[in-house]
Amino acid sequence: MEEGTSKSPSHCERTYGSDGHLDPFQWDTREDCEVRQILDRVADKWSLLVIALLDRRVLRFTELKREIDGVSQRMLTVTLRQLERDGLVKRTVHPVIPPRVDYELTPLGRTLHTTIRSLVTWTEQHQNEIAAAREEYDAKEAATVS
């Protein structure tokens, strides 16, 4: 089992808003909170790229490695194992020589891809604003250092 993950879901603290009602958009920030663990996994940059690449297609390990710039073989292996453990990716080993292993999204993984696509769309729509904010911030920092 991966360090830092629990075998069974833990119950997170419930977060209440200022009106005293349960706030469904908050989660416990403790490390053992299952929601935090899942968010840490699916929001990881390698996981996001793997899920995006597997949208509606099956790929072999070498194809994924070639498509993801900068990922090491070890990191891709770890990422795929974690996604498989979480039920997001299906790994199929074909009994041929040499062995062929295919990866594809599970139905659960496809639902996550829909959410990722929304995040990418938001990023594309706001990239100019973010670039401008970064330039403004960097200019202020440079003026402070001078």
How far is residue 91's CA from residue 96's CA, in Å, rounded to a whole number?
15
Torsions phi, psi of 54, nearest 5?
A: -85, 5
pTM score over 0.85: no
Give me the pLDDT at residue 99, please.
87
Rounded to whole angstroms, the maximal C-alpha distance in the chain is: 64
Give me the pLDDT at residue 10, please.
47
- DSSP H helices, 23-106, are 34-42, 45-53, 61-67, 73-85
Q: What is the C-alpha radius of gyration for the chain, rounded to an integer number of angstroms?
A: 20
DSSP 94: E
Digits of tens for pLDDT over the chain (146 positions)? Answer: 444 444 444 455 555 556 666 555 555 566 667 877 888 888 889 999 999 999 989 999 999 999 999 999 999 999 999 999 999 999 999 999 988 999 999 999 999 988 888 988 999 999 999 999 999 999 999 999 87
Could you tell me if 90 and 83 are in contact, meaning their C-beta atoms sit under 8 angstroms apart? no
Q: At what angle do helices 34-42 and 45-53 cross, to 10 degrees?
A: 60
Give me the pLDDT at residue 127, please.
96
Number of Cβ within a 10 Å radius of residue 109: 22
Between strands 100-105 and 59-60, the pairing is: antiparallel
